[in-house]
Structure 1
């Protein structure tokens, strides 16, 4: 394992926690305003606040996983399998303009072995191809690779993708 500076990952966790606190406080104010004036516009603002909080929680979870992976493996990318959940990230070199079939093949090649190993560790099998467990992060990493969040949860004896099609479509759209 190489030596890695954990301060960056610790700072990302702290920043994500601070963002959640800020959003919760803002949402509490919005909820109070909604109680005084329960109109449709205020309801929509509450919905957006809830969506912002959910996104911030996702960022916090990704930051915590990256910190844990950096501590254990020396890399921010990889998978953690614990308590019926697989989470982590993978960086894949996907050339611009790649057709969806080629994209899926590249993701499967980069992720299948590690995802299968994580499922085996949990005592389950995969329910879908590796690409179905991913959600693309905006932008690229320092090396120009596409970074994909990986998420799955156990249902019975199967590891199910924990990434909705809607979430995946919104990222690509």
Structure 2
């Protein structure tokens, strides 16, 4: 992997860290403005601030995982297992208009072997079919492939999906 590619990952991390810092500062200011205010409107403003901070933290973690994957695999796609958590992404060629049953088979074939290998590395087994661990990103990559984020966490001796059903179905409409 060239240093130009790595510098882009590092720039993505720096931008995500700056965004987290900015949102924290904004949230602190909003919290101070609404201190003692128990109205529903104040609660909603604070809830939105917390949600935006959580989303920014997720983007920061995704940028860190992308850098680790690039260092490990030389590709922006792959799976990482660390501290009982599996995260990463897989690029899959899914033709437009593919029926849902065929789509599930394509995703299963693309994700199953890699996910099973990571589960074995953690000393656990999969709790669900491989496609249950995925969430589709909007759009396609430069090669026209669908990008699937993959997430799971260890509970006992089982790797559980860490993607909600609502998140999985959000892009499939």
Same fold (TM over 0.5): yes
SS at match of 1:23: helix
Per the TM alignment, residue 3 of structure 1 is displaced from its structure 2 partner at its CA by 4.1
CA distance, structure 1, for counterparts of residue 172 and residue 34 of structure 2? 33
Contact kept, 8 Å, 1:89 with 1:149, in 2: the verdict is yes
SS at match of 1:43: helix
Determine whether 1:63 maps to 2:68. no
Q: Which blocks of at least 5 consecutive residues in structure 1 are unaligned?
A: none
Contact kept, 8 Å, 1:3 with 1:74, in 2: the verdict is no
Alignment correspondent of 1:129: 129
Aligned-residue CA RMSD in angstroms? Answer: 1.5
SS at match of 1:95: coil
Residue-by-residue CA offset, 1:33-71 (whole Å, 9 max, x unaligned): 221533211211211111111111111111111101111
Alignment correspondent of 1:145: 145
Normalising by the residue count of structure 2, what TM-score does the alignment of the two structures yield? 0.93
CA distance, structure 2, for counterparts of residue 165 and residue 119 of structure 1? 21
CA distance, structure 2, for counterparts of residue 103 and residue 30 of structure 1? 44
Normalising by the residue count of structure 1, what TM-score does the alignment of the two structures yield? 0.93
Per the TM alignment, residue 102 of structure 1 is displaced from its structure 2 partner at its CA by 1.7
CA distance, structure 2, for counterparts of residue 50 and residue 169 of structure 1? 24
Q: Which blocks of at least 5 consecutive residues in structure 2 are unaligned?
A: none
